Amino acid sequence: MSRLATILADHNIEGHAMLFWGLLQAEGWTDLLEIKLTLFESLGIPHDSTDRDVWQFAQNNNMILLTANRKMNEKDSLEETIREENTPSSLPVITISTIEKLHQKPYRLKCIYRIIEIILDLDNYLGTGRIFIP
């Protein structure tokens, strides 16, 4: 992989994202790939930002947004934002399908392997909008 992949963890899954990151490190992926996890607080993103603001921030800063299922039925919802603003060069949003299962290591591993697959082949996922994992 020739570029750094930065994953922006949505504020409502930061605890889960830290579990992901710990497992990524334990599995050795952070030694093999240029991958970074970042959180809202470290970037100064307000927790009450709209989905649109978060998506735009991630796109403008070349970050892959990792989220649970954000709202889908409001003007500035993530789904509406993707429909209106996604381009062929937009980075995908990775959405964990069943956040409740992340306490189970086998499910976390499936999600991690899927994220790694996406990162390794990122050019082929540009413009896809949203990818539900695992």
Q: List pLDDT tens digits, range 67-97.
A: 987 666 678 899 999 999 999 999 999 999 9
For the chain, what percent of residues have pLDDT higher than 70?
95
- Region 46-67: what's the mean pLDDT? 96
Domain count, the chain: 1
pLDDT of residue 71: 60
pLDDT number for residue 75: 83
Beta bridge partners of 63: 6
Q: How does pLDDT run across 4-29, given as a tens digit for each residue? A: 899 999 998 999 999 889 999 999 99
Indicate the helix (H) or strand (E) that contains 65: strand 63-67
Tell me, what CATH number does 113's domain have? Answer: 3.40.50
pLDDT of residue 13: 92
pLDDT at position 1 is 41
Domain that holds residue 55: 5-133
Task: Please give the pLDDT value at position 82.
Answer: 95
Least confident piece of the model among 36-45, 53-62, 100-109 = 100-109
- pLDDT of the residue at 9: 96
**Cβ–Cβ < 8 Å for 56, 90:** no
- DSSP E strands, the chain: 5-9, 35-39, 63-67, 93-96, 130-133
